């Protein structure tokens, strides 16, 4: 069997120096039927390794569950990497950051009082141990010394940016070893002395995460990793976008020059990202350094392969740089040159969300959090028995609430704008609140914070109690028209679910224009394409061809605000919005 090890100055593959030229490709952000295509293109760019994180919360939406179906089939992904003749790096966290909801930590972890995440705390450690066991049961037989592709496993992720509980970090490494992982382990940290200090472990290779000033960063890393190979575990070649910000791109020439400097220095690299993919469903995270900034649906990342898997200018520039240091296959993937089909379809038969309320209702004295309801969108109802105008106020809005009185819209409060109060024109009748979680923070101390309307909720000076809550079952929305009691109406005030059908001759990637709508979620043939929002920058949603059918296709849209047009427009190409320059 092949053997991979850490030598005095290099990685060693069967005793010979080996440079890892890897690219990040998250299986959970790409439709499984497109994995082989993306992996093959990585090989053609000259990569010899594919790196992926593992998102704990996606695999384990509830305690005791470990789902490996469809887009979560890590074993199939690793086998496809091996079939392409590439190696693999697995980064199971338990925390992954990655602009992913909660940085990959399941929301249910935070339900039990006293659980402290990313620390040596018994309740957290028990859950992590079970999770790592489940993931590593898949990885163990796929390690290189057992005939598989996996040559490196990462411990935690940028731990030095979060904490300094060395006992915890050591326990994670020991749990990984205890689960039968025999390949070398690594940690990653930003190249800052204090972070490399707190995030590193003796006997585990320290690596860095950075995208510029390569010489200086490698020198910092070398101080903390005096011997062994130098590796940039995350060579940031682009960046992610937040709603309300610009679309980020980086200069091809400058990024290629930094990659060149890294390879010229003899370092190994994992290009973050090689292909970013998409935050399908409600999987995107958020940043909060004082201002809450949710991440958009696209994870294009301005990577060498764009969101739809087409090689960009950066692909060709990186391939050329890599060819100076390693053999690169002769074949070059062609730019697709195709535009996606352009057409329109009519959204119709709206069903009001407040009236249909598809989901489980429960009764609560005090306002429950979304986490308690296991909901990402929920409706809360109570009867007001006052009279005249009154101020409705919340402790904190996480992340957006739409307010209705007797079915009529009163206004919207948003966390980003730190809005917490709204004047009700009268205080008698049915108060309804539609609350949306826009993505959990994935970096820094706010990971795991509860979502929803954080109390107390007051009408004037009095706390409002006695709530009926409906946890919206989003998976049911694409099938709402089949449900008893759900009748389309001509005009619906407030959130509504719409549908359109269209015919296509065959599957093809599609780009759904969303800038013409308000804020919501879209599905094609039951597949959740993710959130859209007119504020941008993302103005089209990517529809991967494997979810498109030849024949009749059904588009379903949950519009929370207002649809200025009921025309659904499919564009020829992606529009990820304006850049800063
Ligand atoms: C850090 C994290 C990654 C990702 C990048 C930014 O390096 O380790 O998971 O969040 O930042 O894209």
As a whole number, mean pLDDT of residues 530-554 equals 97
Q: How far is the CA of 207 from the centre of ligand 1 (A)?
A: 13
Ligand 1 environment, Cβ below 6 A: 96-99, 157-158, 209, 234, 240
* pLDDT over 70 (residue 336): no
* pLDDT over 80 (residue 338): no
Supply the pLDDT for residue 487: 86
| Catalytic residue IDs | 158, 234
* pLDDT over 80 (residue 495): yes
What DSSP string runs through 18-36? E--EEEEE-GGGS-GGGHH
As a whole number, mean pLDDT of residues 486-496 equals 86
In tens, the pLDDT along 212-230 reads 999 999 999 999 999 999 9
In tens, the pLDDT along 407-418 reads 999 999 999 999
In tens, the pLDDT along 549-581 reads 999 999 999 999 999 999 999 999 999 999 986
For 271, what's the count of Cα atoms within 13 Å in the CB-facing half-sphere?
34
Q: How far is the CA of 98 from the centre of ligand 1 (A)?
A: 5
Sign of the dihedral through C-alpha 511, 515, 516, 518: positive
The closest residue, in CA terms, to atom 10 on ligand 1 is 98
In the chain, what are the helix, strand and coil shares in percent, each to the nearest 5? 25, 30, 45
Taking Cα atoms as reference points, which of 530, 61, 460, 124 lies closest to residue 295? 530
Of all residues in the chain, the percent with pLDDT exceeding 90 is 95
Q: Which of 91, 99, 239, 300 should be mutated for ligand 1, with most atoms under 8 A from CB?
A: 99
Q: How far is the CA of 184 from the centre of ligand 1 (A)?
A: 22
As a whole number, mean pLDDT of residues 58-70 equals 97
The closest residue, in CA terms, to atom 9 on ligand 1 is 98
In order of start, what are the domains of the chain with their CATH numbers?
A: 4-323 (3.20.20.80), 343-351+475-571 (2.60.120.260), 359-472 (2.60.120.260)
Of all residues in the chain, the percent with pLDDT exceeding 70 is 99
Sign of the dihedral through C-alpha 474, 478, 479, 480: positive
State the closest ligand 1 atom to the C-alpha of 103, by its place in the atom list counted from 1. Answer: 9
The closest residue, in CA terms, to atom 3 on ligand 1 is 98
* pLDDT over 80 (residue 172): yes
Q: Which of 96, 101, 209 should be mutated for ligand 1, with most atoms under 8 A from CB?
A: 209
State the closest ligand 1 atom to the C-alpha of 97, by its place in the atom list counted from 1. Answer: 9
Work out the mean pLDDT of the chain and round it to a whole number.
96
As a whole number, mean pLDDT of residues 139-156 equals 98
Q: How far is the CA of 325 from the centre of ligand 1 (A)?
A: 26
In tens, the pLDDT along 317-333 reads 999 999 999 999 999 98
* pLDDT over 90 (residue 485): no
Supply the pLDDT for residue 58: 98
Q: How far is the CA of 97 from the centre of ligand 1 (A)?
A: 6
The closest residue, in CA terms, to atom 7 on ligand 1 is 209
Model pTM score: 0.97
* pLDDT over 90 (residue 199): yes
């Amino acid at each position: 069997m092949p053997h991979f090890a850490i030598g005095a100055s290099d990685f060693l593959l069967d005793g010979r120096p080996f440079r890892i030229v890897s690219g990040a490709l998250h299986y959970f952000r790409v439709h499984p039927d497109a994995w082989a295509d993306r992996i093959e293109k990585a090989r053609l760019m000259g990569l010899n390794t594919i790196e992926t994180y593992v998102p704990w919360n996606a695999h384990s939406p509830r305690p005791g569950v470990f789902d490996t179906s469809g887009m979560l089939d890590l074993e199939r992904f690793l086998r496809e990497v091996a079939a392409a003749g590439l190696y693999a790096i697995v980064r199971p966290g338990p925390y992954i950051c990655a602009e992913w909801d909660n940085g990959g930590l399941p929301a249910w972890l935070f339900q039990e009082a006293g659980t402290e995440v990313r620390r040596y705390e018994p309740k957290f450690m028990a859950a992590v141990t079970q999770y790592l066991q489940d993931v590593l049961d898949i990885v163990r037989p796929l390690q290189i010394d057992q005939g598989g592709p996996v040559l490196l496993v990462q411990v935690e992720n940028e731990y030095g940016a979060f904490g300094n509980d060395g006992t915890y970090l050591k326990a994670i490494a020991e749990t990984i070893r205890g689960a039968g992982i025999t390949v070398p382990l690594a940690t990653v940290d930003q190249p800052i002395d204090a972070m490399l200090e707190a995030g590193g472990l003796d006997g585990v290779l320290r690596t860095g995460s950075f995208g510029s000033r390569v010489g200086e960063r490698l020198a910092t890393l070398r101080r903390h990793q005096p011997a062994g190979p130098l590796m940039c575990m995350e060579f940031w070649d682009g960046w992610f976008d937040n709603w309300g910000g610009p679309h980020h791109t980086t200069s091809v020439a400058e990024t290629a020059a930094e990659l060149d400097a890294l390879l010229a220095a003899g370092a190994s690299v994992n290009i973050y990202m090689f292909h970013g993919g998409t935050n399908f469903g409600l999987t995107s995270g958020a940043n909060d350094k004082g201002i809450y900034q949710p991440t958009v649906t696209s994870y294009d990342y301005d990577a060498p392969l764009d969101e739809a898997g087409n090689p960009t200018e950066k692909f060709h520039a990186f391939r050329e740089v890599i060819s100076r240091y390693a053999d690169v296959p002769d074949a070059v993937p062609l730019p697709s040159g195709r535009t996606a089909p352009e057409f329109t379809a009519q959204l119709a038969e709206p069903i009001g969300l407040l009236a249909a309320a598809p989901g489980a209702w429960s009764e609560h004295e005090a306002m429950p959090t979304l986490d308690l309801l296991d909901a990402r969108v929920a409706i809360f109802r109570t009867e007001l028995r006052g009279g005249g105008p009154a101020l409705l106020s919340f402790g904190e809005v996480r992340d957006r609430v739409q307010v209705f009185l007797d079915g009529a819209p009163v206004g919207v409060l948003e966390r980003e704008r730190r809005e917490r109060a709204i004047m009700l024109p009268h205080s008698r009748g049915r108060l309804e609140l539609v609350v949306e979680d826009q993505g959990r923070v994935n970096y820094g101390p706010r990971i795991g914070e509860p979502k929803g309307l954080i109390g107390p909720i007051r009408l004037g000076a009095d706390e409002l109690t006695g709530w009926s809550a409906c946890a919206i079952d989003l998976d049911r929305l694409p099938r709402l028209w089949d449900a008893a009691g759900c009748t389309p109406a001509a005009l619906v005030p407030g959130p509504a679910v719409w549908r359109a059908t269209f015919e296509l001759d065959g599957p093809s990637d599609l780009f759904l224009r969303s800038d013409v709508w308000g804020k919501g979620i879209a599905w094609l043939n039951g597949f959740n394409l993710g959130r859209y929002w007119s504020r941008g920058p993302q103005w089209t949603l990517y529809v991967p061809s494997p979810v498109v059918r030849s024949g009749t296709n059904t588009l379903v849209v949950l519009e929370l605000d207002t649809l200025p047009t009921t025309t659904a427009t499919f564009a020829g190409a992606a529009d990820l919005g304006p850049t800063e320059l």
